[in-house]
Each structure stands twice: as C-alpha cells, then as structure tokens.
C-alpha cells in the first residue's frame, strides 16, 4: 500500500505504530487506521504531507516544539467530542510527520451534504449544537480550532459528533493565509473568516464564522460562496453578503436563518458574544427528551443520527463567570502582615522555585512551571507583604508563564492586578506597570476582546512615547500589535496608517532583513493586495 505522500514505512513507526488501512485523504495528508503495539489498541495515524513539514533539521526541531506546545494546550479540552492526540513522530528525513490519534468509528459530516438532498433541519441543528458544545469547552481553555469544516467533523455510530484536528491548524499554521509565488492561497478557503483571509489575529469568533459556514452548507447543500478561483471566494468572504438560507430553502425557520447570518457577519465582534449564546439560540429547534422523530426527519439512510443524544440533556459547561474567580486574581491589597526583611531560608526557597520552574519551562511544561511558583508565592506574601518587590516579581513570572502556555483566562486577571500594584508602588508610568497592562491587553486580544485590547495598547503606547523613543523596543512591539489587531478587525486603512510608518522606522533602525521588519512587510503586502477593493 502507498500513501499519496510516499511509500508507507516497512517497519512500525517509532517501533510501535503499524499502518493497516487508509481511511481518507485530505489537503495536508492522509489518515490511516493503525495499531499501537505497545498499548494493544487501535489508533488513527495522520501522515502529514512533506510540504507541511519543515525541510531542514533546524526548522524541523522548531516544528516539533510547536507541535508539543499546541498538543499540550489541546490536551486540556476535556470533552468526549474531542479525540485526543497521543503522539507525534518525525521521520529520519524530516519529511513527514505522523500524528497518532484516538480512532473514531463514524461518518464524516461532508458525506451528509448533497445539493439535491438537504438534511432535515433537526439533523443540521443537532450537529451544530453538538459542535457548539465542544467549542464551549475548547474556548474555555482557550483553544481556537481555526480550521472548522465538514471534513473535520465526524458523526460517530452512536450519533455523537466528534470535532477532529483541534490544534492541528495551529501546529501547521494553516490558519495564516500565505501566498505562494503564483499567488495561490494556502488554507481551507471555503470556511475562512474575513480576519483569516487578511492574515490577522484569530479568536473564538473565528470559529463561530466557520460554524456559520458549516450550518449554511448543511441546510442548503452548497458552499456559502463559490467562484472560479480561490482568490474570488476569499474576496467574497471579506466583502460579499451571504445568501439568506430561506431564499435557498423556504422551510428553514426564520430565527435559524437569522442566527446563521449573525454568525457570518464580517467583523468578529459583531458576531454572537460566545458559543454558549449560539447553543441557546439552537435549543428551540432541538428534539425534546423522549421525543420521536417526525415524518421526514429520518435523515440519510444508514447514517448515524446526531439528534439521538438530545433525547437526554446535553448542554455546554457553564460560562467562566458562573464559577469562583481564579486564584491568580487575588487582590494584592488584601490584609497580609507588613513587609519584612527577606529571611535567608525564604530567599533560598524562592531561588529554588525559580530554578525548578525554569527547568520545567525548558521542557515546555508550562502548567507545572506556574504551579511551582504558586507554591512559594503565598508564603512569600505572608512573610514580606503582598506588594513586596520579590512577591510581585514571582507573580509576574507566573503570569508570563501562563501567557506563554496559552492560559489567557488565568493570566488576564493576574496581569490586571499586577498592573495596579506596580502603579501604586512605582507610579502609573513605571516600566513594570506598562508591561503588565500591555500583557493584559494581549490576553484580551487572544480572548476576542479586540476593542478593549486596542484601547489598552494605545493607552500604554501613549505613556511610552512620553518616556522613551517611538522606536524603542517597547514602542515598536506595541505599534506592531496595534496594527496587526486593526488588520484582523478588517480596518485595513487604519492598520496601514500604523504599519507603514512602523515599517519605515524598522528598516532604518533594524534593517529590512530583521524578523520584525519582514513580518510588518508581509502585513503591508496583504493590505496592498486590496482584498477590500473591487474584484477583478
């Protein structure tokens, strides 16, 4: 047997994984039914194509690190609708990556879609509601799928929907629209949100747009947009109004059509606030417990029934606001004994905590690295005071680790509290207060709170300009973040106003070959492609 990307290995992969049967082939690679000889269990093995994997040992090492980081973040999604990634193996030639995953027996959602045989409304809604449930757990982490599409959604034999390839888009960076020498975009363009087409920042609302595309396709049997070229489809995602579902299929309920159009709004922040809102708006169209299918709602013959799980309650987890505040959000002004001199034993324990945390960071074990610092922060605060410099430094390092590890929900309140503490102890314009406010803004951007993030970043930049140069490292990073966030929000003209002078400054101060110079140059190229202008 052969894969499309080359010959199947004669020996088990990594000495344990055997490839038995090819299940399907996709743009990034082929999926095989496999067997784990060590744990005596069936597995799925995704063979990632050569062009998706780094072509040199140095780049391959970076690729492997990125996989490990994203796989660990993805592993935090504790939901049966998310098949787990067990392992990743790069072959000796650094040409192929084998992703070993949980094997799910089911039918791809793409097999349900046919322009002449649209799905019953109850089936389409049941699939969308289950996907929303899975996304509610993912966005809590937060993990953004970035490549949600029918080919990544599987309906298991019991009717349970499984969302595949969480984290794979981030690992392979397929969410970033790059152009080849021929101008061909890379990515699943039929489901790309406008901010992805622009190469901007993704957020949970990016997944909501893709869910809208999937719902439109399930209910109408056709893609949201079609054209003679990928570029024109991407142009339509940015500029064209979707065709309302009732024009294509009059039996679609008005409220359902309105939900799909809401999901498909161009600006991320104009879409539903979160996936829980989407689920609540789908609920009226779901079957009640004990309800039997109505005539004509049988769905495709022999296909698993996704409405079955709603015969019993099946709802997403509660919003974060319904739970107790994170431990990292403790008010530093809380009553703690007055500051004291640093005892020798405590000094040693703090040094040991830093060393242990740093060692864990080297292995990219972010959760454990943050926990090690948490264990010393409380006794240090009791002994020295909540706003002692050593205590604030420990908390800042912990928040930075949480940010680095993708735990934005934990890092955000901690950076907010730290910014206020540093403002009290060192002044509102102190370097530490500025840095924490900027990091809090970056967390907000990652969580989809773009308006608040932009306001905060601009506020910090205004302060930096009063105390330092406009081309200082701090100012440059802030200008870059503001421009990229504007671009992601579809404000291309505003982004150009920020990024064009930044690029000029970077070329003069750091040179055109500098990594940041090249990044800003790529963004300007995207703007100058004039995706917001007239189609040609």
Active-site residues: which are they?
147
Q: Select from 192, 211, 193 the least CA-distant residue to 282.
A: 211
Closest CA to 488 of 266, 193, 198: 198
Please give the DSSP secondary-structure letter assigned to residue 56: S
Q: How far apart are the C-alpha atoms of 67 and 420, rounded to whole Å?
A: 36
Collapsed DSSP state (helix, strand, coil) of residue 74: helix
Q: Does residue 97 contact residue 36 with C-beta atoms inside 8 Å?
A: no
Q: Please provide residue 44's backbone torsions phi and psi, each rounded to the nearest 5 degrees.
A: -105, 140
How many whole angstroms separate alpha carbon 190 and alpha carbon 520? Answer: 26
Residues in the chain: 536
What number of helices (H) and strands (E) belong to the chain? Answer: 18, 10
**Two tokens at 164?**
């595949």
Task: HSE, CB side, 13 Å, CA atoms: give it for residue 259.
Answer: 26
Q: What does the alpha-carbon distance between residue 276 and residue 137 come to, in Å, rounded to a whole number?
A: 10
3-state helix, strand, coil in the chain (%, to 5): 50, 10, 40
| H/E element, 152 | none
Distance CA 196, CA 417 (A): 32
């Amino acid at each position: 047997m052969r894969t499309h990307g080359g010959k199947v290995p004669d020996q088990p992969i990594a000495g344990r994984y055997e490839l038995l049967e090819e299940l399907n082939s996709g743009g990034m690679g082929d999926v095989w039914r496999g067997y784990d000889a060590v744990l005596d269990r069936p597995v799925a093995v995704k063979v990632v194509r050569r062009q998706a994997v780094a072509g040199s040992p140095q780049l391959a090492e970076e690729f492997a690190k990125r996989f490990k980081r994203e796989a660990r973040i993805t592993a935090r999604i504790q939901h049966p609708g998310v098949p787990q990634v067990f392992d990743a193996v790069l072959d000796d030639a650094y040409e192929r990556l084998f992703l070993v995953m949980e094997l799910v027996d089911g039918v791809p959602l793409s097999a349900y879609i046919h322009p002449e045989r649209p799905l019953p409304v109850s089936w389409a809604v049941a699939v969308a509601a289950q996907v929303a449930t899975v996304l509610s757990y993912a966005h809590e982490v937060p993990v953004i799928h970035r490549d949600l599409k029918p080919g990544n959604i599987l309906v298991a034999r019991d009717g349970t929907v499984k969302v595949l390839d969480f984290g794979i888009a981030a690992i392979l960076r397929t969410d970033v629209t790059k152009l080849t020498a021929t101008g061909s975009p890379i990515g699943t363009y039929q489901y790309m949100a406008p901010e992805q087409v622009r190469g901007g920042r993704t957020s949970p609302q990016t997944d909501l747009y893709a869910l809208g595309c999937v719902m439109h396709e399930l209910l109408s049997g056709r893609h949201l947009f079609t054209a003679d070229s990928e570029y024109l489809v991407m142009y339509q995602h940015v500029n064209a109004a979707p065709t309302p579902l009732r024009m294509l299929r009059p039996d679609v309920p008005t409220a359902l059509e309105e939900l799909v159009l809401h999901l498909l709004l161009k600006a991320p922040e104009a879409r539903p606030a979160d996936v829980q809102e989407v689920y609540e708006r789908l609920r009226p169209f779901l079957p009640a417990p004990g309800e039997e299918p109505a005539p004509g709602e049988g769905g495709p013959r022999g296909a698993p029934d996704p409405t079955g799980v709603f015969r019993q309650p099946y709802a997403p987890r509660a919003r974060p606001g319904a739970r107790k505040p994170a431990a990292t959000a403790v008010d530093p002004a809380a009553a703690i004994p007055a500051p004291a001199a640093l005892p020798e034993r405590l000094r040693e324990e703090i040094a040991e905590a830093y060393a242990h945390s740093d060692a864990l960071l080297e292995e990219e074990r972010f959760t454990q690295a943050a926990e090690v610092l948490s264990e010393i922060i409380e006794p240090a605060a009791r002994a020295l005071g909540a706003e002692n410099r050593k205590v604030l430094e420990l908390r800042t390092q912990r928040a930075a680790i949480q940010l680095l590890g993708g735990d934005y929900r934990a890092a955000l309140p901690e950076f907010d509290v730290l910014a206020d503490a540093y403002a009290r102890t060192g002044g509102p314009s102190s370097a530490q207060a500025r840095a924490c406010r900027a990091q809090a803004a970056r967390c907000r951007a990652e969580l989809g709170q773009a308006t608040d993030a932009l306001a905060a970043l601009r506020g910090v930049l205004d302060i930096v300009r009063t105390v330092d140069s406009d081309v200082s490292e701090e100012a440059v990073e802030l200008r870059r973040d503001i421009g990229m966030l504007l671009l992601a929000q579809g404000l291309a003209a505003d982004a150009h106003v920020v990024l064009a002078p930044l690029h000029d400054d970077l070329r003069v101060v750091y040179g055109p070959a500098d990594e940041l110079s090249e990044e800003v140059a790529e963004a300007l190229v995207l703007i100058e492609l004039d995706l917001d202008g007239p189609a040609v």
